[in-house]
């Protein structure tokens, strides 16, 4: 086996481990969501994540202030991250895990669409067809007219849209903003907004439930570190598709812990969404005139609860794929 193959295998294994940990993280959110508002879970999750974020900030040697160079884009991204965090936590609380993942997997499709007005990306006919097919897969999962759409479905859609928008904004301003700015603003906003809303929904938490929230924060951090190792080891085109392994974990965990089994529509819709997402990733990897917005989206949708993966990558990986590089 060549050194490149070994590196890609190592990157894929790190990514599989990362998304397995992320899926376990989501199980804890779903369990806690049966007893507490997403506001309360988010508040304590961000609070427990701050010490871990500080470990990264202590290593940031770049000079500058915490004032963003693109305040309007940063404000838009921060709002999107807060909406995504609340929506994702709520969706995981009330919907089967596999359904939530199937809908959130539409993020790469939405990133492709948003890259047109925000990044000036050109999307050719084949990728447009892949996007439309993938969005048809979302409709298969939702089955409008056949099943009653719940707030959880709308929340999952909001998480997909908000996460895609936040990711595209990072692509837009990431070269000029300090990593610490990209990292801290969504976390601080989430903490402030959830703290303001907390008195309306607060329910006393026993120590074991606080411990579960702490585990959520640690798991997100560990999964993030695994993803960094994955992108340091393997090519993005190999690592990025590993996110779809979460549907396997969702099916397994849903069956074991929540007596959930995905129905035929969820399975079929997931297959369509994943196939279209993989096609877009492969097209971007072969394109010579693309800024590869999907390939350079390193993690799951931005929730503003834990440090984002992209700002913590080395510069040559964080800006990989830019036309001006």
How is residue 124 written in tokens? 């050719």
Return the pLDDT at 259: 92
Closest by alpha carbon to 307, among 13, 15, 42, 57? 57
Return the pLDDT at 322: 41
How is residue 304 written in tokens? 């503003």
The whole-angstrom separation of Cα 269 and Cα 189 is: 34
Return the pLDDT at 321: 44
What is the chain's alpha carbon radius of gyration, rounded to the nearest angstrom?
Answer: 19
Helices first, then strands: H and E counts in the chain:
13, 0
Closest by alpha carbon to 214, among 48, 87, 31? 48
In three-state form (DSSP H/G/I as H, E/B as E, the rest C), the secondary structure along 202-268 is CCCCCHHHHHHHHHHHHHHHHHHHHHHHHHHHCCHHHHHHHHHHHHHHHHHHHHHHHCCCCCHHHHH
The whole-angstrom separation of Cα 285 and Cα 208 is: 45
Helix (H, G, I), strand (E, B) or coil at 147: strand
The whole-angstrom separation of Cα 159 and Cα 303 is: 8
45, 216 Cβ separation under 8 angstroms: yes
Return the pLDDT at 132: 92
233, 10 Cβ separation under 8 angstroms: yes
Q: 250 vs 58, 119, 258, CA distance in Å?
A: 35, 33, 10
In which residue ranges of the chain is pLDDT below 50?
316, 321-325
The whole-angstrom separation of Cα 143 and Cα 160 is: 17
């Amino acid at each position: 086996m060549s050194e490149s193959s070994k590196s890609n295998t190592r990157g894929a294994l790190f990514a599989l481990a990362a998304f397995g940990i992320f899926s376990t993280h989501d199980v804890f959110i779903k369990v806690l969501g049966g007893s507490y508002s997403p506001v309360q879970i988010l508040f304590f999750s961000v609070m427990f994540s701050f010490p871990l974020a500080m470990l990264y900030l202590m290593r940031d040697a770049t000079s500058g202030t915490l004032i963003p160079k693109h305040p309007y884009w940063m404000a838009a991204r921060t709002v999107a991250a807060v909406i995504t965090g609340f929506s994702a936590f709520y969706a995981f609380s009330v919907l089967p895990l596999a359904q939530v993942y199937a809908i959130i997997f539409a993020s790469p499709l939405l990133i492709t669409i948003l890259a047109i007005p925000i990044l000036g990306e050109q999307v050719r006919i084949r990728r447009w067809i892949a996007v439309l097919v993938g969005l048809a897969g979302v409709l298969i999962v939702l089955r409008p007219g056949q099943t009653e759409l719940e707030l959880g479905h709308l929340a999952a859609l909001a998480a997909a849209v908000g996460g895609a928008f936040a990711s595209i904004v990072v692509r837009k301003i990431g070269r000029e903003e300090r990593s610490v700015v990209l990292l801290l603003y969504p976390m601080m906003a989430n903490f402030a907004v959830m703290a303001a809303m907390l008195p309306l929904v607060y329910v006393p938490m026993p120590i074991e439930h606080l411990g579960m929230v702490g585990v959520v924060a640690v798991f997100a951090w560990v999964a993030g570190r695994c993803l960094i190792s994955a992108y340091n080891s393997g090519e993005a085109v190999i690592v990025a598709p590993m996110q779809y392994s979460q549907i396997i974990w969702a099916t397994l965990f849903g069956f074991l812990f929540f007596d959930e089994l995905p129905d035929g529509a969820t399975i079929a819709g997931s297959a369509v969404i994943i196939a279209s997402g993989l096609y877009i990733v492969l097209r971007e990897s072969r394109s010579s005139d693309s800024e590869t917005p999907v390939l350079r989206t390193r993690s799951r949708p931005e929730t503003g609860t834990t440090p984002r993966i992209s700002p913590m990558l080395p510069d040559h990986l964080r800006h990989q794929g830019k036309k001006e590089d």
